[in-house]
């Protein structure tokens, strides 16, 4: 049996064959394609109400406002503006700002670097290696329980508070653990992206998806929650079952891995004998790592909105943290862990710098992905795309309308990976159409968030996918091959649920 499931990238045979482009190349190609499409798609906009929401039936074309020179400038500056640019409230365009304001990918970029420093310092203490070894030994005959537990927890976090970009911090922990249990890198990717993704797809009280969309549709966040809860249970079970099927397949026959094997992957195995006991320093570091991630999750959940609704006042103990605060949390955590782990000042700073270097590639991927949205904003074609899709669902039966809303929002989700941004743009247009189709507006919310969640399982313009596979060192084409059958299954189930919801009324 060969040591690798795929051709060795360094072999002469591999060098002569065509290889799928890297994530950087894919994103650059998508950026250029969207930029070229803007020459064909006319710019347009909707009128907006006092809250900034577009008003249905008010779409109108705009005169060409950019010269070819300006558009060329936008193309080359798109990734830069995606990193640190700010959006002009009057024009909607994104450009550079020297005031230090963060827009788009900057906060996520710095968060990824901070997580890299934190994890690298933790590994430098030897505590994570020891902990992973003991956990792998303890689960060597029941490793499937770990996959189930991770995916269920991530799904619950996704449905409650939109756990998405935050998953980027878990790859450095879960990839070596999955390898130690006899799985491959794709198993870790599937457990993380698909686990959290199916939760976001079936959001119940997620304020960034369900909350924003329900508010834009003019309905309470609890409307339609029964259907979404049933979808959450069924689709999560199906997703967990799919990842387990793949994981066991690879565990039985490593040649069937869809991610392939990096040098050294096959040597990371759970010990047949019990590893040595952990030192007190190592135990303390593991507790600090666990508490840091647990505190991260606690700090970002809008508890009052989840428990009492979108208009509830924040609880006194609610932190409302986001990426800037989380970045500081992991940087401080890296220093504390370095001191507790006994690294010393010199070794600790070396590990922090190494962590920045190891994770900067994933951060750049995130910046490139955000540049696509910048181009769409600056050429003002987003509303034109929405207006064209709006006409597709008008005048259909209730069941076809519900499914149609889902289908027309899929391409919008590809172009606008931000759930809150997508909802703010699309829901004020789509929700009033539900009244004419004789379906509840809550079903439009469910159809919209299903489209957003389904598309974001694979779209290369979202940091969750491109950043995740970059951290796991998995090629995008191989990830698409892995997730493609699951997406087909989820597509059918979503359409069935939406049609049934329209029929029940």
pLDDT in tens, 206-253: 766 777 788 777 777 778 888 998 999 999 999 999 999 999 999 899
Match 């809150």 to its residue by tokens.
420
Q: At what angle do helices 382-393 and 419-437 cross, to 10 degrees?
A: 30
Query: Residue 58: which residues within 8 A CB-CB, separation 6 or more?
Result: 46, 47
End-to-end CA distance of the chain: 57
Q: Are 178 and 184 in contact (CB under 8 A)?
A: yes
Q: Are 365 and 466 in contact (CB under 8 A)?
A: yes
The backbone torsions φ and ψ at residue 425, rounded to the nearest 5 degrees and listed phi first, read -80, -45
What token pair was written down for 142?
């029941």
Alpha carbon 150 to its chain centroid, in Å, reads 16
Q: Are 410 and 67 in contact (CB under 8 A)?
A: no
Predicted local confidence at residue 1, as pLDDT: 35
CA count, 13 A, side-chain hemisphere, 20? 12
CA count, 13 A, side-chain hemisphere, 493? 23
Geometric angle at alpha carbon 494, from 493 and 496, rounded to 5° = 65
Predicted local confidence at residue 9, as pLDDT: 44
Task: Kindly provide the b/e burial profile for residues 190-220, where b requires at least 16 CB atoms within 10 angstroms of the residue's own CB.
Answer: bbbbbbbbbbbbbbbbbbbbbbbbbbbbebe
Q: Report the 10 Å Cβ neighbour count for 442.
A: 25
Predicted local confidence at residue 363, as pLDDT: 73
CA dist 175 and 157 (Å) reads: 20
Predicted local confidence at residue 96, as pLDDT: 45
CA dist 405 and 445 (Å) reads: 9
Predicted local confidence at residue 271, as pLDDT: 54
Spans in the chain with pLDDT lower than 50:
1-16, 88-92, 94-103
Predicted local confidence at residue 207, as pLDDT: 64
pTM above 0.75, yes or no: no
CA dist 255 and 253 (Å) reads: 5
Predicted local confidence at residue 499, as pLDDT: 92
- For 62-221, where are the E strands, in sequence order? 86-87, 94-95
Predicted local confidence at residue 85, as pLDDT: 58
């Amino acid at each position: 049996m060969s040591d690798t499931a795929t051709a060795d990238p360094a072999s002469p045979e591999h060098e002569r064959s065509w290889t799928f482009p890297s994530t950087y190349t894919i994103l650059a190609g998508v950026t250029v394609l969207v930029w070229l499409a803007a020459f064909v798609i006319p710019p347009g906009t909707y009128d907006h109400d006092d809250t900034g929401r577009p008003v249905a039936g008010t779409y109108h074309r705009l005169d060409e406002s950019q010269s070819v020179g300006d558009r060329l400038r936008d193309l080359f500056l798109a990734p830069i503006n995606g990193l640190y640019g700010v959006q002009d409230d009057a024009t909607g365009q994104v450009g550079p700002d020297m005031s230090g304001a963060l827009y788009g990918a900057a906060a996520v970029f710095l968060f990824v670097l901070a997580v890299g420093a934190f994890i690298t310092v933790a590994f430098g203490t030897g505590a994570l290696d020891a902990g992973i070894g003991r956990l792998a030994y303890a689960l060597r005959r029941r490793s499937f329980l770990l996959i189930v537990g991770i995916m269920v927890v991530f799904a619950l976090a996704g449905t409650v508070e939109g756990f998405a970009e935050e998953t980027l911090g878990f790859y450095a922990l879960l990839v070596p653990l999955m390898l130690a249990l006899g799985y491959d890198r794709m198993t870790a990717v599937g457990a993380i992206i698909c686990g959290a993704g199916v939760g976001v797809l079936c959001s119940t009280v997620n304020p960034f998806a369900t909350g924003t969309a329900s508010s834009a549709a003019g309905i309470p966040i609890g409307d339609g929650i029964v259907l979404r809860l049933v979808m959450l249970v069924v689709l999560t079970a199906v997703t967990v079952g799919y990842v387990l099927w793949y994981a066991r397949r690879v565990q039985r026959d490593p040649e069937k891995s869809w991610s392939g094997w990096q040098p050294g992957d096959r040597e990371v195995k759970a010990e047949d004998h019990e590893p040595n006991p952990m030192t007190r320093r190592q135990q303390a570091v593991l507790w600090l790592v666990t508490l840091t991630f647990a505190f991260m999750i606690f700090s970002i959940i809008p508890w009052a909105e989840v428990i009492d609704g979108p208009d509830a006042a924040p609880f006194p103990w609610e932190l409302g943290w986001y990426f800037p605060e989380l970045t500081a949390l992991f940087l401080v955590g890296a220093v504390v862990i370095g001191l507790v782990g006994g690294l010393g000042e010199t070794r600790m700073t070396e590990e922090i710098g190494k962590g920045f270097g190891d994770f900067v590639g994933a951060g750049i991927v995130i910046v490139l992905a955000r540049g696509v949205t910048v181009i769409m904003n600056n050429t003002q074609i987003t509303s034109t795309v929405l207006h064209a899709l709006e006409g597709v669902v008008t005048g259909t039966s209730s069941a076809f309308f519900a499914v149609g809303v889902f289908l027309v929002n899929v391409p919008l989700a590809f172009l606008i990976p931000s759930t809150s941004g997508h909802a703010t743009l699309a829901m004020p247009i789509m929700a009033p159409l539900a009244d004419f189709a004789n379906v509840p507006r809550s079903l439009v919310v469910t159809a919209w968030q299903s489209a957003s969640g389904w598309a974001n399982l694979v779209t290369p313009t979202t940091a969750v996918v491109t950043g995740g596979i970059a951290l796991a060192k998995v090629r995008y084409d191989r990830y698409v091959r892995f997730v493609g059958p699951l997406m087909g299954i989820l597509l059918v189930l979503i359409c069935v649920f939406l049609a049934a919801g329209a029929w029940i009324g």
